[in-house]
Amino acid sequence: ATELLGFIASQCPFCDRTTAFVEAFNYVSRLLGIPDPYVREKSEYNAVGRRLHLKFRELLERRSWDLELALRMAAIANVADSHVLGCSATPRDLERALEEGFNFHGEEIDVLLRARGGKALILLDNAGELHIDLLLGEALSRKGFKVRYAARTKPYEVDITETELRNIVDGGNIVLGTGTAYPPLYTRRIRTELIEEMQKADLVVAKGIANLEAFLDCLPGTRLENLFFVLAAKCQPLAKALRVPYKSGVALPSWRAEELCRGLLRRS
């Protein structure tokens, strides 16, 4: 712990949260000599996610691939994670959250629900929930969108990687990677190609807290039109900033997220 704190102090004295988290993870991975310390956990999450994918795919089929339902499921699936302050979740928690019902708060999402056709890009987060995100992707494709997916290229906690994603999705799906261990919305350290794809997309759906934090850290950087955040408010400060109950599923557009993020930044 002392070595890690020393590394952060020396390498990132004025860095933002995203950089501190990613570089600290990379440093610990190097110390351990294990490039991907969470392989087992990701496998467990994905095993549950695959089973839930089949179950909830049947539900979506019965509901004529209702986009709002797919959005709700993708949001609450984000509740499962390895380490979020105040929220320790397991693969079973992912299953329980989806099966037992949940709170969902969609704000200014009518534009998303009414959208028809164009290019859609889903910026992925964790293993496990990925399989629910693929249902959201299918719901969008049934609305006429050409859907692509993006993920971190290198390992970071239980986040799905570009290679893992390619091994899971159908070969017809286009998969993009950040080129680094940084999340897709951390535009300072990802591939230019991915930034260009986000700028060209008619709809960008960003999953999870890491992408929201990356968006905050890069302000006033690249702004994307038609960007929506879909996540679970699984830490108390974020739930307070977003003005929703703790652990609620949330979907909101980037302009609203920016308003709320700026308020969170002032309080941090």
Q: pLDDT at position 88, please? A: 56
Asked whether the beta carbons of 204 and 179 are under 8 A apart, the reply is no
Domain boundaries, the chain: 38-267
Q: pLDDT at position 36, please? A: 97
Tens digits of residue pLDDT in 119-167: 999 999 999 999 999 999 999 999 999 999 999 999 999 999 999 999 9
Indicate if the pLDDT at residue 268 is higher than 60.
Answer: no
Highest mean pLDDT, choosing among 16-20, 170-174, 189-193, 238-242: 189-193
pLDDT band at residue 235 under the 50/70/90 scheme: confident
Indicate if the pLDDT at residue 13 is higher than 70.
Answer: no
pTM: 0.92
Tens digits of residue pLDDT in 246-261: 888 999 999 988 888 7
Provide the 10 A C-beta neighbour count for residue 195.
18
Bridging pattern class, strands 118-123 and 145-151: parallel
Bridging pattern class, strands 227-232 and 249-253: antiparallel
Indicate if the pLDDT at residue 40 is higher than 60.
Answer: yes
Residues 6+ apart with CB under 8 A from 173: 137, 147, 148, 149
For residues 135 and 150, give the distance between their C-alpha atoms in angstroms, rounded to a whole number.
15
The answer to which of 3-17, 59-73, 164-178, 228-242 has the lowest mean pLDDT is 3-17
Tens digits of residue pLDDT in 197-224: 999 999 999 999 999 999 999 987 777 8
Tens digits of residue pLDDT in 64-115: 999 999 999 999 999 877 655 455 566 777 777 777 666 788 888 898 888 8
Q: What is the CATH number of domain 38-267?
A: 3.40.50.10880
Q: Greater confidence, 4 or 109?
A: 109
Asked whether the beta carbons of 91 and 48 are under 8 A apart, the reply is yes
Q: Say what percent of the chain tops pLDDT 70.
A: 88
